[in-house]
Structure 1
Amino acid sequence: MREYLGLIATMALGACGGLDQVGKAPDFSQSVGSDEYYAMMSPPLPERLDTPTPGDRASLWEAGQRSLLGDRRAAKKGDILTVVISINDSAAISDTSQRARSGSGQMSIDALFGLPERVAENGGPSLSPGVKTGSASTSQGSGSVKRSEKLTLRIAATVVQTLPNGILAISGTQEVRVNFELRELRITGYVRPEDISRQNEITYDKIASARISYGGRGQITDVQQPRYGQQIADKLLPF
């Protein structure tokens, strides 16, 4: 009995965990303490001694990212670039399989110390064939998959780490709240500096180990999700 009471109390506490959001819009995630925050706040690595020094700041031909003709692409920790997500995929798969198999076997006893003849003289059943087997099996299956996805988004990501081989690790988050529903977009991955365009943009298909998450939280999302009890029952019930 105590075990059941403990389970009920645990489920009640879990259900009360979201009561603080009743009547309020979902809160934004804190940007302080994120990977982007630490990447921007940490000091950059010291420049190499053979790096050319910028020219006179009054000159139009000054070197550096902030100059008029300088390379403004993200290149070091803390820099920001734009990730263009344009997914328009569709897949259709249809499979059909059919299998049939049959087998038979027969063994006769022609002579066994005169036993077949004696059985026949006494009017008993014949011993030929002595053993006879047969089997047959058939199977048939079919399946189909049809999927279509379309997503067009743009998000600003931050270079959070420069790997020893020059690859840039990026991470970006974006949150937009409309009434009582919060839309979340997150992306992480690794990019090559040469894949970043002159407009400081990169497409999602050039990001290695890309992890793109697009979802939301709020009142509408809560209604669409099954209750905790139903989720537990779906995991435990075998049928």
Structure 2
Amino acid sequence: MVQLPTQSYPPLSPRQTLPTMYDLPSDNPEEPGLPDEFHFLQPLLLFLTFQPTNWSPELVFSACDLNLYYSVTHPQWYKRPDWFGVVGVPRLYEGQDLRLSYVVWQEEVSPYVVVELLSPGTQEEDLSRTVSTPGNPPTKWQVYEQILRIPYSIIFSRYTNELQAFHLLGGHYVPMNLVDNRLLMPELGLSLGLWQGSFREINRLWLRWMTLEGELILTPEEEAITAQEQAVTAQERAVAEQERAERLAARLRELGVDPDELE
């Protein structure tokens, strides 16, 4: 009998062997629904205005209240940030599908910035006051800082309007200072600031994305209003110019000059 040579294969990567987003749920049955209306509107405003100028829109992804799976050794463990943004990944999963969850070992890119909105039920963990016990999932702070190494972690309280921000330096989060009431993120070409204004007919202090110079990044609704206002202004300017030309022509005729004969 002829002995066939054995062939060895390289080990499969976690991307090939671990669950994908199609296998991991996006909703937790123990947490039905969102906790309050602010936790819907504030992440939505962040979602609509997150437009990094240093990245193509096709390589920018952000999500609200989406499960973030982070552990290769514990593939069922996840955190659910109120909002997070990623750069360097396709807008669609593998360029073709809406995401059910964000699975780091499949995406191979960690979020770049994460925002947590304080609420009575989660503020202890959001503020890093909880301690992980052996055998249980790590805390949010541990995941964001030590496992995913997310460059920017932001915490905002709608009750006190307090904004806390941390930047990953030397492997640890250090507090960030606000510049003109904004957090500068030059790697994204953006700043994150507090803005008093009306969003979805609710006037309050909101957290929203701006340019590095502090100009508001407009939502689609704001862009439509601005375009309409500019169109009206242009039309009014054209009417004013036409009326001015007609007054000038009338004055010339009074002086015995035919304006049609003038070059």
- Normalising to structure 1: TM-score of the pair? 0.21
Normalized against structure 2, the TM-score is what?
A: 0.19
When you count helix as a share of all residues, which structure comes out higher? 2
Structure with max Cα Rg: 1
